[in-house]
Each structure stands twice: as structure tokens, then as C-alpha cells.
């Protein structure tokens, strides 16, 4: 069965490399992968309005009708974007949507594919700590603000946030293995062509040998995204394994928070 017409969502923890993957996918001749869309979170919040569902049910809509209409709204917005880019298909890359996986699945009547990017927790934690500081708190995503409000600020906060995001992803993927493709940041930076080829094959798209190179030479739309991508000119592995610069006390203070889940995802701290 071909999945060429199915929506695709690229999701991972903030600072796991999703913007890098977005640039590569956006270089595909058939695929438009825009900056983070965010608006589905607002659509989800709309459904929590206490009189929304009763009001729509009074219009002789069923629950399935409601989700179908909301899904058509998302599809229409994203299809329009793809057409404006002269592309056939779209992929939505929004890390925040890890909280909305069942909702998104229902919007598209379970005819939707998910690309999940994972990264070594300690490297991801280091990057989160560098990106989100007291100076930038007023400009960050609501989900990050919620994580800080819930867990505090610092490496232990980011460890708990990494765990929350990746537990959610892994749980959903285990329930829908035929529609979920997990891949690793480390494989992306060390074996980019093979890793991208596998991801494209999963969504039933052709791999083009020059796609990774073209990702850094073409113009991409600006919007919500990691600003560091603006100065990125190639894929490199310099950010993989930075946690090895930590001393043993730093590692031992963080690793127990993520250890069991990290090991399930194939990560360890053996040097």
C-alpha cells in the first residue's frame, strides 16, 4: 500500500536535530517541510472549550465528523503551503507536537506517518541547557516554559524533559510500529545518506544522492526554528559525544534520571 499521499510529522525533543532533518527533507523535489507550524496545539486547545463538542454534536455531527473536519482544516492549510512551494507533499516538523500524538492520529483517521528523531540524552541535555537560559525565557515555546515551571531550570530539568518527550514518543511508536520510524541523530551526522534514505523509504519517497548537499545551498522559509541552522553549511558530527567532556560527578548526577530509557533506545555512557 502506497503512503505517498499520507501526512507526515517529524517530531523529537527540542535540540535533537529536527531542524537539520527539516532542511534535508525540504530539499526533496516533492516535499515541502516548513518551519514549526505550532497551530495544531491551538486547535487542540480549542477542543477543550467546554461547549465546543456539545455545540457541534447539536449540529448532527458525530465525534468522527468533528475530527474529520478539523483534520481537513489542517490538511487544507498544509496543502496550500506545499502548492505555493510547487511541491506535491508536506511534512510538518514541530517538536511541541509530541504532546499531541493521539490527537494528530485521530485528525487523520490513523492514516498518518511519524518520523521520530532521538539523540543521546546527555548531548541533548547539554544543548537544551545552552539554548534555553534565563536571558531567553521570555521568547521560548510554551512547552519549554511549562517544563521549566514543572521541573525547574538546569541540567536535571532538561534530563526530566528529555525523558518526558522520549517516553511519550517511544510509547506511541510501540503501539503503531507500522507507522512510526525512529532514527538517531548520531546516525544522521555520521551516515547521513543512509539515514535519510531509510527515512524517505519509510514514507514511500525516493532518495536523491544530492539531497543532503542541496539542503545547505537552497533557500528555506524562515519561521519558528533553531536559529543555529542559519549558519550551518554542512552536516558534521562535532556535537555528537560532547557529554564525554563532563567529569564523572556531572554524569553521575544526571544519568540515573534517564538511564533506563536511554538504554532502551540504545544509549549508554561507556567511554
Domains of the chain: 8-264 (3.40.50.300)
Write down the pLDDT at residue 233: 75
The span from the CA of 12 to the CA of 101, in Å, is 12
Write down the pLDDT at residue 271: 58
Cβ neighbour number for residue 22 with a 10 Å cutoff: 25
Write down the pLDDT at residue 138: 56
The span from the CA of 142 to the CA of 146, in Å, is 6
The span from the CA of 97 to the CA of 11, in Å, is 7
The span from the CA of 67 to the CA of 72, in Å, is 8
Q: What are phi and psi of 187, to 5 degrees?
A: -70, -35
The span from the CA of 163 to the CA of 110, in Å, is 25
Strand partners, 117: 12, 183
Write down the pLDDT at residue 261: 98
pLDDT (tens digit, 0 to 9) for every residue of the chain, 271 residues total? 578 899 999 999 999 999 999 999 999 999 999 999 999 999 999 988 999 989 999 999 998 999 999 999 999 999 999 999 999 999 999 999 999 999 999 999 999 999 999 999 999 999 999 888 754 555 678 888 888 989 988 999 999 999 999 999 999 999 999 999 999 999 999 999 999 999 999 999 999 999 999 999 999 999 877 777 776 777 888 999 999 999 999 999 999 999 999 999 999 998 5
Residues 6+ apart with CB under 8 A from 41: 96, 97, 99, 100, 142
Give the length of the chain. Answer: 271
Strand partners, 9: 92, 114
Residues 6+ apart with CB under 8 A from 150: none
Write down the pLDDT at residue 225: 76
Grid coordinates of 180: 512510526
Q: Where are the alpha helices (DSSP H) in the chain?
A: 18-26, 39-47, 52-57, 63-84, 101-107, 121-131, 142-151, 155-175, 185-190, 192-202, 211-214, 248-264
Give this prediction's pTM.
0.94
Amino acid at each position: 500500500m502506497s503512503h505517498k499521499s499520507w501526512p507526515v510529522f517529524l517530531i523529537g525533543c527540542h535540540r535533537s536535530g529536527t531542524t537539520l532533518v527539516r532542511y534535508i527533507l525540504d530539499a526533496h523535489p516533492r516535499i515541502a517541510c516548513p518551519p514549526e507550524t505550532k497551530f495544531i496545539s491551538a486547535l487542540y486547545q480549542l477542543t477543550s472549550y467546554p461547549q465546543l463538542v456539545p455545540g457541534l454534536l447539536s449540529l448532527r455531527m458525530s465525534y468522527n465528523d468533528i475530527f474529520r473536519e478539523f483534520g481537513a482544516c489542517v490538511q487544507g492549510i498544509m496543502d496550500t503551503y506545499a502548492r505555493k512551494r510547487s511541491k506535491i507533499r508536506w511534512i510538518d516538523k514541530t517538536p511541541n507536537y509530541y504532546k499531541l500524538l493521539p490527537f494528530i492520529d485521530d485528525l487523520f483517521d490513523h492514516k498518518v506517518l511519524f518520523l521520530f528523531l532521538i539523540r543521546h540524552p546527555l548531548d541533548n541535555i547539554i544543548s537544551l541547557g545552552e539554548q534555553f537560559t534565563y536571558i531567553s525565557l521570555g521568547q521560548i515555546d510554551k512547552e519549554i516554559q511549562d517544563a521549566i515551571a514543572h521541573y525547574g531550570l538546569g541540567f536535571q530539568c532538561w534530563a526530566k524533559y528529555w525523558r518526558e518527550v522520549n517516553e511519550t514518543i517511544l510509547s506511541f511508536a510501540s503501539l503503531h510500529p507500522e507507522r512510526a520510524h525512529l532514527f538517531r541523530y548520531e546516525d544522521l551526522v555520521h551516515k547521513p545518506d543512509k539515514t535519510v534514505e531509510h527515512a524517505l523509504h519509510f514514507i514511500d519517497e525516493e532518495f536523491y544522492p544530492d539531497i543532503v548537499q542541496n539542503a545547505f545551498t537552497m533557500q528555506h522559509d524562515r519561521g519558528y526554528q533553531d536559529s543555529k541552522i542559519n549558519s550551518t553549511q554542512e552536516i558534521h558530527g562535532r556535537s555528537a559525544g560532547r557529554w564525554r567532556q563532563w567529569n564523572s560527578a556531572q554524569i553521575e548526577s544526571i544519568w540515573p534520571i534517564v538511564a533506563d530509557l536511554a538504554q532502551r533506545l540504545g544509549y549508554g555512557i561507556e567511554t
